[in-house]
Amino acid sequence: MKMQSLIVFFIAVSCCNLCFGQWQAVNNNSAIVTTTNVGIGVTNPDAKLHVGGGVRFNEWVRIGGNTDGYAWKLGVSGNVITRGGNVILGADGNDRIGIGLTNPDAKLHVNGSMRVNDWMRIGGNTDGYAWKLGISGNIITRGGNVILATNPTDLVGIGSTRIPAGFKLAVQGKIIAEDLKVLAFQNWPDYVFRKEYSLMPLWKLEQHLQQNGHLPGIPSAAQIEAEGGFDLGEMQRKMLEKIEELSLYLIQLNKKVAELEQQNRDLQSLVNHK
């Protein structure tokens, strides 16, 4: 029995010497661990420091020590770092950040809503944009102007996801504006006032109205309904053409009236001299 107690005593002393031998003092405030792994709350640590529970630090933590000016750094590759008061996430080229999900498929993937109280820049640049959404510049601001769909293939829809072919902007609803400008295009109807222009005689115009119910060159109500509307610029051109033709009709009528008035004065003069 005494022999067994003596053996246990020697084993305990050996273990104590082993435990104390794992720590080596450097100075009054520091110490280093000379063993391979240290476990807190675990019996089989698989890292230099393995904690089986929560960890609380009252100050910053440096992992992967460096001298490059980082206030703190989590991850040897710099996944989370701070420098100069800025917090930098995903500094490594392959890092991705997920909020609300575990499998992000972009540098920043948010599963839910996101609120930004100030401007947001995507695809950083130095070309004078106040902010830019979309690398291709789908939505940008410059000089106080908001520019949509700068890419030639971009289309804009308001209140609708269906944008008819050939149009850059589709609005499902009414539009109100203080002014609207349609850029000038070729074939503006100044040609009506040229000498070679063939003005339809009034009798023929009357015949066309009786047969078709609309002015020549102007689409009918049935045609506009079938085509789903009309082109504003083209309709303005046609309406101006009709106004200019009307002016020519008035000039012709005014000449005939003046001619008749002159004939009436001539006849009146003959009557007075008899």
**Structural domain boundaries of the chain?**
1-56, 59-114, 126-176, 185-274
**Which of the two residues, 85 and 179, has the higher pLDDT score?**
179
What is the pLDDT at residue 250? 95
- pLDDT tens-digit series, residues 190-249: 999 999 999 999 999 999 999 999 999 999 999 999 988 888 888 989 999 999 999 999
**Is there a contact between 39 and 46 (Cβ–Cβ < 8 Å)?**
no
Report residue 153 as tokens: 């293939």
Q: 81: how many CB neighbours lie within 10 A of its CB?
A: 22
Alpha carbons 217 and 237: distance in angstroms, whole number: 11
H or E, element range at 146: strand 145-148
Is 80 exceeded by the pLDDT of residue 260?
yes
Secondary structure letter of residue 195 according to DSSP: T
**Which of the two residues, 140 and 6, has the higher pLDDT score?**
140
Secondary structure letter of residue 101 according to DSSP: -
What are the b/e assignments for 216-242, b being 16+ CB within 10 Å?
A: eeebeeeeeeeeeeeeeeeeebbeebe
- pLDDT tens-digit series, residues 115-136: 877 666 655 555 555 555 554 5
- pLDDT tens-digit series, residues 144-178: 777 777 677 778 888 888 888 888 888 899 999 89
**Which of the two residues, 93 and 238, has the higher pLDDT score?**
238
Is 60 exceeded by the pLDDT of residue 19?
no
Q: Of 94, 58, 99, 59, whose CA–CA distance to 79 is shortest?
A: 94
8 confidence band (pLDDT: 50, 70, 90): very low
